[in-house]
């Protein structure tokens, strides 16, 4: 069945460092792809999405491009802040949302 695999964490970065969290998917067809973020004690928030190949989703400085040839949807941010510390989930629509295991990001000042 369809699935999502994302890099294991935790990831620890210094403020203003470049962030990449890898995500690859296995799917029949072309599902929509998503990144969600979960802050401590809260539910998930939709961060960005892409609905077809070569689409780039972006929000709050985060970006991810739907790559059909590499079946990937890596999350990137050029300069992370302490406030970006959270758990990030890659997901696809299958038809319900199917999530990766999550990657915990800690940004130190």
Binding interface with another protein (CB under 8 A): 32, 34, 36, 41-46, 49, 51, 89, 93-102
Phi, psi of 61 (to 5 degrees): 90, -10
β-pair type (103-108, 11-14): parallel
Min. distance of Cβ 56 from another protein in angstroms? 16
Min. distance of Cβ 88 from another protein in angstroms? 13
Beta strands in the chain (DSSP E): 3-6, 11-14, 19-21, 23-26, 33-38, 44-50, 56-59, 62-65, 75-77, 86-93, 97-99, 103-108
Nearer to another protein, 17 or 55 (CB): 55
Nearer to another protein, 36 or 74 (CB): 36
Nearer to another protein, 56 or 108 (CB): 56
Min. distance of Cβ 16 from another protein in angstroms? 29
Determine the longest span between alpha carbons in the chain, in angstroms: 42
Nearer to another protein, 2 or 17 (CB): 2
């Amino acid at each position: 069945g369809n699935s999502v695999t994302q890099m294991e964490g935790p990831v620890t970065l210094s403020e203003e460092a470049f962030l990449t969290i890898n995500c690859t998917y296995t799917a029949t067809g072309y599902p929509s792809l998503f990144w969600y973020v979960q802050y401590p004690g809260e539910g998930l928030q939709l961060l960005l999405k892409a609905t077809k190949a070569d689409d780039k989703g972006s929000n709050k400085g985060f970006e991810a491009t739907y790559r059909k040839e590499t079946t990937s949807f890596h999350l990137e941010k050029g300069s992370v802040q302490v406030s970006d510390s959270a758990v990030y989930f890659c997901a696809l629509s299958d038809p319900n949302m199917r999530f990766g295991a999550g990657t915990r990001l800690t940004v130190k000042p």
